[in-house]
Each structure stands twice: as structure tokens, then as C-alpha cells.
Structure 1
Amino acid sequence: MSKLLSANSRVSRFLQTFRSCPARGFSSVSLKGRSCLTLKDFTSEEIKKMLWVSADLKHRIKQENEYLPLLQGKSIAMIFEKRSTRTRTSTETGFALLGGHPCFLSTQDVHMGVNENTKDTARVLSGLCDIILARVYSHSTLEELDKEASIPIINGLSNLYHPIQILADFLTLQEHYGSLNGLTVSWIGTGNMVLHSFMMVAAKLGVHLKIATPKGYEPQKSVIEEAQRLSKQHGTQFVLTSDPMEAAHDTNVLVTDTWVSFEKEEEEAKKKRLKDFEGFQITMQTGSVAKPDWTFLHCLPRKTEEVDDEVFYSSRSLIFPEAANRKWTIMGLVVSLLTDYNPKIPMIKF
């Protein structure tokens, strides 16, 4: 079995993946003024530009100790209908690190949906802030915010997509493997917003995607159809199955997420769900049919039913670098939507 990279050697390998040639074509890609509700709306080149900017900020700030006040004088309104550890912390610390001011707004802080409609909230915040990140229950809330606001909207998580998580996941894999093109990612779990976002991005980065869900827990039909179209367009493999071991076979990356809702479920419903997911826990046995260099991702929070401790805390697990990269990819996304910034490092290898 190949020895996996240590944290320090991952950074070293990451830095070696910078291309010495100029990034012709990418410097001209501008995302300024756009919203990001789903990565379905972005091309391969645009997603790569987001990741390149994120890698650039991480290298210049973390490795070179540069101070980059790119968001000096700007503010972000952070609307959170759902609680959060990574999204809130990464956005607040990242925006502040770039010289901007983050403003956290929970359901106890704003009138949206209670004494004021979404339309009015969007218009008010457009006059007070430069960008809005919203973590909401319904994707339609984001769509209404985007329709009524005159500033960019970022999806911090909805019932349909979680784009900022996927940017962090792919930056983490790029750092670890040195490139993304040709990798196989296998999702073993439920068809949710994180999986939907994987499905909208993988093919655009040349990544093969295999999905195993129990029957009745598949991704949405419209998302499947779009993923199939993208796979055909970009020449990648896209597999749907109900067999976890089939999905894990010959893969580079095993990924899962929470099967049970973040919110409280009826005990009987929870028992049924756990029964439906029997055999879907990721273990070293699951990894035994994967490639020798297989790794593991989970967006957190995690329960042991989804992945056992042996895998979760092993050297194969990239979960903590993945969580840390939420900060750099949020920073990269916000900088891309608010400025015309072009990275100073050479283009990273995709």
C-alpha cells in the first residue's frame, strides 16, 4: 500500500503543481457581479478560475504571510436560517482577513420571513452591504433574494445545492493528488444537496463520478439528467447504483454525508432510515476494493453510522484539510464575485 502524504508533504506537493506556463484564457475570465446559487450556472473555466484564486490567496496569505486587503471597505450580510460551524466561521474569518466586515444575521436578528418579506429584505440589504451569503432551508428563498437584490448572492447551503462545500472538496483533492483530471470520486450515501453539487461540477473538472444510494434515496431526476448531459459533454464516467461496493470499486475518493437530518426526526423515521442504509457505512472493507491511494471526504458534522472511526481518523481521511479549505474557497469565491482580481501564482494543474 502506498504511503499517504503527511500534512506538510501535501503542502509541498501542492506548491509543485503550479504550472510555470502562463494561464492563457483564464486571466480574462471575470465573475465580478455574478451570484453563485449553484455551480450548474458556471463553466469549467469559471470554476477553475474560482479554485485558482482560492489557491492563490491561500498561498500568498498562509505561505508568504502577505496582507491582502482586497475587501477593504466592503461588507457581507450573512443570513443563517440554519446553524453552522464551518460556513459561518470560514466566512467571518475569511472576509475579515481580506479587510472586509462580516455581519452575521440569524433568524433572531432579521425580519425576513416574519415581519418583512424576502423581497424587501433583499432590497434593504442591497443598500447596506456589498454581497449576501444565505444559508437557508428552501432554494427558492435564494432565488427570490437573487431576483430582488442588486448585489451578488451566495448559496451557503439550501435543500438543493451546497456549492461552497464542493469548491473546498475539489481544492483539497487538487492539493492532495496534484491534479483532478481523471480522478474517480465515489459517493456512498443519500441523494442530497452536497451530492447534487458534486454532480454539477465533477465532469467539468474531468472527474469521474460514481454514486451509490439506497433505493428511494436517489438524487433528484432533473439533477441526474443534467449530470448525465455534462458527463457526455466532457467525456467522463457517470454511474448510478444501489451497491456501495460497486461504487467503491477502483475509486480514488470515497465520500459520504449525514444520512439523518440535521433537525430532529421522529424516532420511528430515524430507525427506518438507518435500516434502509444498512451496508452503506464506509469502513476499511469498503476501501479494500478502491485504488491503493484512496482517500476519504466528509463535509461534517459526522455520525459513526456513516463512517467508522478507523476510516474517519485515519491517514486516508482528508476531512480536516477539507474543512480548513472552506475558508480559502469562500475567500476565493467572494473575491471573484466582488473584484477583478487575477492570481499572482501560476495556474494550478487541473
Structure 2
Amino acid sequence: MRHFLTLKDFTKEEILEIIDIGLKIKKELKAGIYNKELEMQTLAMIFEKSSTRTRVSFETGMFQLGGHALFLSSRDIHLGRGEPVKDTARVISSMCDMVMIRTYEHSMIEEFASYSKVPVINGLTDTYHPVQLLADYMTMIEFGVAENAIVAYVGDGNNMTNSWLMLAAKLGFELRIATPKGYEVDSKVLRDALDIAKESGAIIRVMNDPKEAVRGATIVTTDTWASMGQEDEKEQRIKDFKGFMVDGLTMCLAQKDAKFLHCLPAYRGQEVSEELLEDNADIVFAEAENRLHAQKGLMVWLDRQR
């Protein structure tokens, strides 16, 4: 049995296999063929952090695979209201076939997985957002920009940055990360990624100049400057991130046919301009849809490991 907590735990071959399964299931769905590989199975979805894309994609995905998804917010269960994580894990995993958790502390999901009898999926923590990167790379494959990719990430050194670090290190492509001073990537995650990169051949560079990161890139990506739980920092972050908005002038520094990605939700006029987002709506919203297909591939892959 395997859990999906961070891309660090997976080989290049396993990551690509998960995405391949998702692409196959997506092709079947578009042809009107419904893969029912998880028929009569139940996915428990624990949300301590709310989300549009995570809930809709997992709930719809489980339904399309023939199973059923249970939405469990912090108001619906005893987790966080006195019951230890390990007890909740033992109970839910004795009744359900798989668990997805979207929460704050990464240590919480690690503890839950250590007591769970079924696969646990990280739907997002403050440290990693690996399911999003499955969708991002699936989109890169579909749009023909995965091979020889040079990815520039511009913005906060957050869970998306950490996940891009792990994906690049595992798959062996070039990643440039530009953050404002004081918002750099997690030093431990960076060290881990650099160690993995020694074997994969990945090129990883971190800097504070967004123009340097974007120059010659084939993919430019960003994320919100103030994540959930950082709302009280929003005004200060807007000041600190001055010059980090990705717009048409920024994209002119990238390669001619470079693509723009955004995990959404997007705050137009902050991390991305309205015009740039709308000009790249085809790939950005294909990326959002691919959360559904990549996660279906993930759930099927995890089920096959048992």
C-alpha cells in the first residue's frame, strides 16, 4: 500500500505512470467511456481548508470511477475538536477505501497516514501541493511543452514552489525560482531537491529577480501572494511583491512560444495581469480541468498498489 503525501516519495517512472493512467482515462471519458475501476469504493475527503477545485475534482472523479466520495469538513467530524488524529485515522480508514486530506500542517497528514489502513492523498498542506503538480505536468504534456522544459516560477516560496522543486528534481528539467527577499523557498526542501537533482540531472536555480528567471523560459508560472491563512498579511505582501506580477512584458522575456500556468484561484492585478490570464485562458483552464483527470489516474494507481 502506498500513500501520496509528496512527490519526494515517488520515482520518475511512477509519476509518469500516474499521469499516463490519467491521460488514458481522460481520453476514454471524452469518448463517452466511463472507467469504473473504483466501483463500490468510498473516498473520505477531509477538508480543514476549503477549496473549489479540490472538492469538485475529487468528488466528481470518484463518481466517474464508479465510487462515492464523502465531504467531511472540520465542522462535521471530531478531528480537531478533541479526538486525536490517530483515532480519527483508525476509524475512517476502517470504513473507507481511500482518504484525501486538505489541511494546514504537513505533520498532521503524515500522522494520519501512519495510522491509516488505506491510501492517504495529500490534497494540500502548507508544505506541499503534489496533486496540483500532476495536473500541471499533464497539461505540459498535452500542450507539447514538457520535453526540454525550462520552468520559471515567480512569486512566493510556498507549497507550490516546494512541489515544483520536487517535480523538477524527480523528472530532471530546469527550474528557476524567483521570490522577493524574505519569501524564499524552504531551505530543507531546497536541499532535498538539490540532492535528488544530482541523480536526475535537473537544473535548479533560486534568485530574487523575476526577469532573470523568466528570460528564455518555456513555461512561466505563479501563485497567489497570500495563501489561505495569510489573509492578515495581504496588504504587506502586496507591497513586498512589487515587481513580481507576471504580465505581457514579463512574458516577452520568455521564449516566443512560452506558455503560462496558474494553479488558481488567480488574483488579477496582483500576481498576474488580467490581460495575460485571459490571453492564456485555454491552457490555464485546461490545467484546472486536469485536476480531475490527473487525480483519477492517481486514485486508480494507488488502488492497484494494494
Superposed counterparts of 1:293-332, under 5 Å? 293-304=257-268, 305-315=270-280, 318-332=283-297
* The 10-residue stretch of structure 1 (269-278 or 78-87) with the greater mean CA deviation from structure 2: 269-278
Q: Which of 207, 211, 216 is the matching residue for 2:182?
A: 216
Q: Which amino acid aligns with 1:75?
A: T
The question of 1:34 aligning with 2:2 is answered yes
Q: Which amino acid aligns with 2:179?
A: T
TM-score by length of 1: 0.84
Q: Which runs of 5+ in 1 are unaligned?
A: 1-32, 342-350
Superposed counterparts of 1:162-173, under 5 Å? 162-173=129-140
The question of 1:49 aligning with 2:13 is answered no
Task: Measure the CA separation in 2 of the matches of 1:272 and 1:66.
Answer: 50
Superposed counterparts of 1:101-112, under 5 Å? 101-112=68-79
Superposed counterparts of 1:51-200, under 5 Å? 51-62=19-30, 64-177=31-144, 180-200=146-166
Residue identity over aligned pairs, in percent, reads 43
Q: Which residue of 1 aligns with 2:237?
A: 273
Residue 234 of structure 1: how far off its partner (Å): 1.5
Q: Which runs of 5+ in 2 are unaligned?
A: none
Q: Which amino acid aligns with 1:278?
A: K
Residue 262 of structure 1: how far off its partner (Å): 2.3
Q: Secondary structure at the match of 1:297?
A: strand
The answer to whether the Cα contact below 8 Å between 1:282 and 1:308 also exists between their aligned partners in 2 is: yes
The answer to whether the Cα contact below 8 Å between 1:155 and 1:162 also exists between their aligned partners in 2 is: yes
Q: Which amino acid aligns with 1:140?
A: S
Q: Cα–Cα, structure 1 residues 205 and 180, in superposed 2: closer, same or farther, change >3 Å?
A: farther
Residue 275 of structure 1: how far off its partner (Å): 1.3
Task: Measure the CA separation in 2 of the matches of 1:86 and 1:171.
Answer: 16
CA RMSD across the alignment: 1.4
- Give per-residue Cα distances to partners, 1:14-44, cap 9 Å, x unaligned: xxxxxxxxxxxxxxxxxxx200000100011
- Give per-residue Cα distances to partners, 1:100-125, cap 9 Å, x unaligned: 01011001111012031111100001
Q: Secondary structure at the match of 2:279?
A: coil
Q: Which of 249, 253, 266 is the matching residue for 1:289?
A: 253
Q: Which amino acid aligns with 1:212?
A: A
Structure with bigger RCO (C-alpha 8 Å, 6+ apart): 1
Residue 212 of structure 1: how far off its partner (Å): 0.2
Task: Measure the CA separation in 2 of the matches of 1:57 and 1:161.
Answer: 25
Task: Measure the CA separation in 1 of the matches of 2:222 and 2:128.
Answer: 15
Which structure: larger Rg?
1
Length, aligned pairs only? 305
TM-score by length of 2: 0.96
